[in-house]
Amino acid sequence: MKNTKYHKFIAAVAVFALSATFLLLDDEPIYFADGAGDHRSLRTGEENEGEPTDDPTIIDQTSIDETMATSARELEDRLIGAQPETTDDNILAIHEWPAAEMSNIAEGTYSISRLNTTQTNNDNYGRVLLYVTSHMSRQHKMFLKYCWPNILARSALLQEADVAVYLNPGEGERKEAMDILNNTFADQNLKVYLRAKAEKQAGAKTAMYEAITSDFFSGYDWVIRLNPDVIIRDDSFLMQSMADPSVLALLINCSRRGTKVHTDFFVIKPDVLSAKAFPLTGENAELSFTRSIQESVLDNGSHRWIPDASPKSYLCRAGDGRDFYESPIVHEHFLHPEVCSVPKDIDVTSVFPDAWPLPWSRRV
């Protein structure tokens, strides 16, 4: 591309300038965040102590490195004119659910209706959409088959919700994935946005970006966004808060020093969501999501932190480091016998190598 070397030189200069600025201004320990949300001091190696703060105005120091990298990428993108791709209209067009004998299922949007609007409209909090994103790993398959039937049976909130799944498995796994979803959500309105396989982190960002820009959430009062391995163990706080007209979002804080909103699970009014919250490239999803709702939600106190759901460990997972029965929302990569009913003839050790059932207080 013309002037590419010049653009890269300008971007490099920007990175150097940003680095110098942060080194001059920073008189506090610098912390880094890896993909799992680990926070440690680069100067002392000591772990941070304390619970996440409720003050939404505190900026998490773990964002420093990510902000520097993001600023450089944004500058280079502007210089070379990079723009996000739009979704093909044919992919967005709604198709009938694939016939049982179909083995090759093309990318597209598939829908099956089982309930009318009256049956999915709650008098207290309106219409709810459960928005699930999955690349359909072996873990996700097992959670959907063995855990989610029990989760649905125990939750009045989820039983009334419509279900939409942003699905991006490999081509050879599409048929199995669609069958699992149809069986798991057999009593609910189900829509599947079947897309090309994507890297896990990129797929999660794209799922939210496309949902917002293509109006997946239109007509709903609330959206519950989660992954298949996130368990809603107790929905009582969610239902109570969703019925409060002053509440716009139910959130989990991942940061132990400031505010960093968890993106693997949140409940939100779709009107406050912005596509800018989930950039297709660049900054960490939690940081960009936090920044996007800072003014509209966090600063004015129209959110509620879900009690006992913030992680006690250094992983950015709901309820991590807590006992299973302590947190109403649990994000784990293990099957808990209280929720998951695994047939005795099914071997789960190839997917979940640790002994099962597993003691859930192991990281407290």
- pLDDT tens digits for 254-263? 988 889 999 9
Nearest to 327 by CA among 317, 342, 315, 341: 317
The predicted model gives 10-32 an average pLDDT of 41
Lowest mean pLDDT among 34-38, 156-160, 260-264: 34-38
pLDDT in tens, 202-255: 556 788 889 999 999 999 999 999 999 999 999 999 999 999 999 999 999 998
Q: Distance between CA atoms of 157 and 170, rounded to whole angstroms?
A: 32
Q: Which string of DSSP letters, residue by residue, matches 106-122?
A: -SEEEEE--S-GGGGEE
Q: Per-residue confidence at 361, pLDDT binned at 50, 70, 90?
A: very low
What amino acid occupies position 18? Answer: L
Position 292 scores a pLDDT of 86
* pLDDT tops 70 at residue 70: no
Q: How far is CA 240 from CA 117, 221, 244, 270, 304, in A?
A: 22, 15, 7, 18, 11
Q: Which runs of E-coded beta strand occur in the chain? A: 31-33, 39-41, 94-96, 108-112, 121-122, 126-134, 162-167, 190-194, 222-226, 230-232, 249-251, 265-268, 303-305, 329-331
Helices (H) and strands (E) in the chain, counts: 10, 14
Q: Which string of DSSP letters, residue by residue, matches 227-282?
A: -TTEEE---HHHHHHHT-TT--EEE-B--SSS--B-SSEEEE-GGG--GGGS-SSS
The predicted model gives 40-60 an average pLDDT of 37
Q: What percent of the chain has pLDDT over 70?
A: 69
Position 196 scores a pLDDT of 87
**CA distance from start to end of the chain:** 53
* pLDDT tops 50 at residue 156: yes
Position 352 scores a pLDDT of 74
Q: Per-residue confidence at 69, pLDDT binned at 50, 70, 90?
A: very low
User: How many Å separate Cα 210 from the centre of its chain?
Assistant: 14
* pLDDT tops 90 at residue 127: yes
The predicted model gives 36-48 an average pLDDT of 32
The residue that leads in pLDDT, 81 or 151, is: 151
Q: What percent of the chain has pLDDT over 90?
A: 46
Q: Per-residue confidence at 37, pLDDT binned at 50, 70, 90?
A: very low
Q: Residue 64: which H helix or E strand, with range? A: helix 63-80
* pLDDT tops 80 at residue 301: yes
The predicted model gives 132-143 an average pLDDT of 93
Position 200 scores a pLDDT of 55
pLDDT in tens, 306-331: 999 999 888 888 998 898 899 999 99
Burial of 31 (0-12, 13-18, 19+ CB in 10 A): buried
Q: 103 in helix, strand or coil? A: coil
Sign of the alpha-carbon torsion through 148, 153, 155, 160: positive
Q: Distance between CA atoms of 208 and 73, rounded to whole angstroms?
A: 21
**Average pLDDT over all residues of the chain:** 77
Give the position of tokens 């293990």.
Answer: 334
